[in-house]
C-alpha cells in the first residue's frame, strides 16, 4: 500500500512537471535570434521559464506573414501584452489571455480599459492549469479601416508592455493589473529582438514627483522651521529683509510655485482626476494632494494681507497662518509618502512604478527627523524661557517706531541664544537637502529594485 502511494505521488510530480513545462515552452527558438522576447525578470531562463521567469512573452514573424505571440505567467486571472504608442498604459492596444481560456482584445487610455472586437487574430490556444496561465495566438500585421488595430507592418514602433493579475470583469475582460512591466523602448515586432525592461513612469509623472518632493519635503520644511524657531537666531538682513523672513519668504514662494506646476502637470498626464476604482492609495494621494494644493495658496494670500505687528488682528493672523501652514506641511508629507510607497505586493495602486523601494524609508526618515528636531528645538526654547513669539516692537507712535515693517527685527541686537540652536539649524538644513536630493535623483533616474 505504501509503495503504491509513493509511486502515485512520483507519477503525479512527473505529470505536473511536464504540464508546467509544456505550458511555458510553446514556441521554439532562441530569444534575440529566432524570436523576440520580453521576460520578467530580465535574463531569466526563457528555455525553462517555469522555474525562472515570473512572466514571459515572445513573438516571431512566420512565413505566412502573421506574428506568433506566446504569453506565460503564474497568474490565475490573465496575462496580457500591450503595444504602446506612449510608452505607458495610455494609448495602447492590449491582448490578454484569460483563465476563462479565451483571448480578448482591448484599448487602453489613461483612465479606462475599453473592450474591442477580437479581429485579425487566429489560431488561439489557451491553457490554465496548476496556477500557470499560457497561450499562443497569431496576429495579422495590419487590418485596413480599424484605427484601433495598431499597424505592425508600416508603423511598427511600439513599446511592449506585460501585465498580469487575478481579476476579470463579468464578461471576461481584464481589470486593473496586479503587476506590470514596460519595455525599454519602441520595438519592431517583426524583428527578433530581446526587449529590456524600462521605466513605466512617464516624464510628466517624474516631474510631478520631483517638484512635490522639492516643495514639501524641502522648501516647506526649511521655510516653516526657520520662521518657527529662528526669528531671533538669524541676525542681519537678506535682500533688505530680516534674514529669517527672507529665507521663509523665498522657501514658501518656491513651495507654491513648484506645487502649482506639479499639480498642473499631473492633471495633464492623467487627463482629469483619478477615480476611486483606480486604487485606494492612488485615490487618497489625489484627495490629500488637492487639499494641500488648496491650503498652500490660501496661506500665501493670508501672508500678503497680514496685519502689522501690534495691530489688533495680528495674533489671530499668527495662529491662522501657523495652523494652515502646519496642516499643509503635514498633509504634504503624508501625500508624498503615499506617492513614494512601492512595496512588493502593495495593494491599492503604486503611483511611481520605477521608484526604488529604498525611497520610501528615506522619506519616512526625513519626516521623523523633522519632527525630532522640532521637539528638540521646543525643549531648548522652553529651557531658555524663550517665548516663541515675535520680538516686541516699540510703539508705532514713538519717535523710533519700527513696527510698521518687518525690517525692524534686523535693527535690534541679536539676542544671546544658545549656539546649539544654530548648530542644529545647520545640521537640519543639511540633512533635509541631502535627503531630498537623494529622493529627487531616485525619482528622476531610479529604477525599481
Same domain, 253 and 284: yes
Enumerate residues 6+ apart whose C-beta is below 8 A from 415.
Answer: 232, 233, 386
- The answer to whether residue 396 is domain-embedded is no
Give me the pLDDT at residue 193, please. 64
Q: What is the DSSP secondary-structure string of 117-159?
A: ---SEEEEEEEEETTEEEEEEEE-S--TT-TTS--SSSS--BE
Give exposure, 14-25, as e/b (b: 16+ Cβ within 10 Å).
eeeeeebeebbb
Asked if residues 162 and 38 have their Cβ atoms less than 8 Å apart, the reply is yes
259 and 381 fall within a common domain: yes
User: What is the DSSP track for 306-357?
Assistant: PPPTTSTTHHHHHHHHHHHHHHHHHHHHHHHHHHH---TT-SS--S-TTS-T
| Torsion sign over Cα 435, 436, 442, 448 | positive
Q: Are residues 151 and 291 in the same domain?
A: no
Domain extent for 356: 203-391+401-445
Of 95, 106, 108, nearest to 67 by C-alpha is: 95
User: How far is residue 40 from each of residues 54, 55, 181, 312, measured CA to CA in Å?
Assistant: 5, 5, 8, 66
Q: What is the mean pLDDT of residues 233-239?
A: 77
CATH number, domain containing residue 152? 2.60.40
Q: Confidence class of residue 106 from pLDDT cuts 50, 70 and 90?
A: confident
pLDDT at 417 over 90: no
The phi, psi pair for 108, rounded to 5°, reads -105, 135
Dist CA 277 CA 9 (whole Å): 44
**In the 8-state DSSP scheme, what is residue 42?**
T
Asked whether residue 125 falls in the same domain as residue 251, the answer is no
Q: Are residues 145 and 252 in the same domain?
A: no
Task: Write the pLDDT tens digit of every residue in 347-370.
Answer: 445 566 667 778 888 999 998 999
Across the chain, mean pLDDT equals 76
Residues 162 and 254 in one domain: no
Q: Are residues 134 and 248 in the same domain?
A: no
Where does the pLDDT of residue 318 fall: very low under 50, low under 70, confident under 90, or very high at 90 and above? Answer: confident
Nearest-5° angle of CA 211, CA 296, CA 390? Answer: 115
The reported pLDDT for the residue numbered 110 is 57
Helices (H) and strands (E) in the chain, counts: 8, 13
The lowest-confidence range among 18-22, 168-172, 183-187, 338-342 is 18-22
Is the separation of the CB atoms in 133 and 26 below 8 Å? no
Please count the structural domains in the chain: 2
Which of 152, 182, 212 marks a domain boundary?
182
pLDDT for 386 equals 47
In this structure, what CATH number is given to the domain that contains residue 268?
1.20.120
Residues 165, 212, single domain; the answer is: no
Predicted pLDDT at 427: 94
Q: Which three cell numbers, joined as nine digits, stand for 309?
A: 505687528
- Out of 122, 150, 182, a domain closes at 182
pLDDT for residue 122 is more than 70: yes
Q: Grid coordinates in use for 21?
A: 513545462
Spatial CB neighbours of 179, under 8 Å, sequence gap ≥ 6: 54, 55, 163, 164, 165
Based on the domain organization, do 79 and 167 belong to the same domain? yes
pLDDT given at position 69:
93
pLDDT band at 202 (very low <50, low <70, confident <90, very high): low
Q: Tell me the C-alpha to C-alpha distance, in Å, between residue 441 and each of 311, 354, 437, 449.
A: 46, 12, 6, 14
Residue 62, in any domain of the structure: yes
Amino acid at each position: 500500500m505504501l509503495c503504491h502511494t509513493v509511486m502515485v505521488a512520483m507519477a503525479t510530480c512527473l505529470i505536473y512537471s511536464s504540464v508546467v513545462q509544456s505550458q511555458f515552452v510553446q514556441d521554439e527558438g532562441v530569444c534575440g535570434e529566432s524570436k523576440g522576447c520580453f521576460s520578467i525578470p530580465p535574463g531569466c531562463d526563457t528555455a525553462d521559464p517555469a522555474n525562472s521567469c515570473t512572466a514571459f512573452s515572445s513573438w516571431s514573424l512566420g512565413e505566412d506573414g502573421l506574428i506568433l505571440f506566446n504569453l506565460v505567467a503564474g497568474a490565475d486571472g490573465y496575462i496580457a501584452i500591450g503595444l504602446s504608442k506612449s510608452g505607458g498604459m495610455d494609448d495602447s492596444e492590449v491582448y490578454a489571455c484569460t483563465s476563462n481560456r479565451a483571448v480578448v482584445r482591448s484599448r487602453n487610455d489613461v483612465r479606462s480599459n475599453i473592450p474591442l472586437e477580437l479581429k485579425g487574430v487566429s489560431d488561439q490556444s489557451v491553457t490554465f492549469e496548476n496556477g500557470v496561465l499560457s497561450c499562443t495566438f497569431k496576429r495579422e500585421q495590419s487590418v485596413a479601416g480599424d484605427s484601433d488595430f495598431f499597424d505592425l507592418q508600416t508603423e511598427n514602433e511600439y513599446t511592449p508592455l506585460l501585465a498580469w493579475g487575478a481579476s476579470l470583469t463579468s464578461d471576461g475582460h481584464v481589470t486593473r493589473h496586479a503587476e506590470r512591466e514596460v519595455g525599454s523602448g519602441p520595438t519592431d515586432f517583426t524583428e527578433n529582438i530581446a526587449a529590456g525592461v524600462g521605466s513605466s513612469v512617464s516624464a510628466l509623472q517624474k516631474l510631478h514627483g520631483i517638484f512635490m518632493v522639492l516643495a514639501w519635503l524641502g522648501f516647506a520644511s526649511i521655510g516653516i522651521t526657520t520662521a518657527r524657531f529662528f526669528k531671533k537666531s538669524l541676525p542681519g538682513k537678506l535682500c533688505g529683509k530680516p534674514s529669517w523672513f527672507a529665507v521663509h519668504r523665498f522657501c514658501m514662494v518656491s513651495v507654491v510655485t513648484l506645487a502649482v506646476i506639479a499639480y498642473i502637470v499631473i492633471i495633464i498626464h492623467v487627463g482629469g482626476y483619478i477615480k476611486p476604482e483606480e486604487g485606494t492609495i492612488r485615490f487618497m494621494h489625489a484627495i490629500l494632494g488637492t487639499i494641500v494644493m488648496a491650503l498652500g495658496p490660501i496661506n500665501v494670500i493670508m501672508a500678503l494681507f497680514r496685519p502689522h505687528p501690534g495691530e489688533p488682528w495680528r495674533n489671530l493672523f499668527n495662529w491662522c497662518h501657523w495652523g494652515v501652514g502646519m496642516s499643509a506641511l503635514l498633509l504634504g508629507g503624508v501625500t508624498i509618502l503615499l506617492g513614494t510607497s512601492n512595496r512588493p505586493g502593495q495593494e491599492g495602486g503604486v503611483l511611481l512604478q520605477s521608484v526604488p523601494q529604498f525611497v520610501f524609508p528615506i522619506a519616512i526618515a526625513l519626516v521623523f527627523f523633522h519632527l525630532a528636531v522640532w521637539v528638540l528645538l521646543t525643549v531648548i526654547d522652553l529651557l531658555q524661557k524663550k517665548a516663541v513669539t515675535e520680538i516686541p516692537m516699540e510703539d508705532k507712535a514713538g519717535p523710533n517706531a519700527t513696527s510698521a515693517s518687518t525690517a525692524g527685527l534686523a535693527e535690534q541686537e541679536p539676542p544671546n541664544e544658545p549656539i546649539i540652536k544654530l548648530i542644529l539649524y545647520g545640521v537640519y538644513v543639511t540633512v533635509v537637502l541631502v535627503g531630498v536630493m537623494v529622493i529627487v535623483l531616485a525619482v528622476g533616474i531610479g529604477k525599481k529594485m
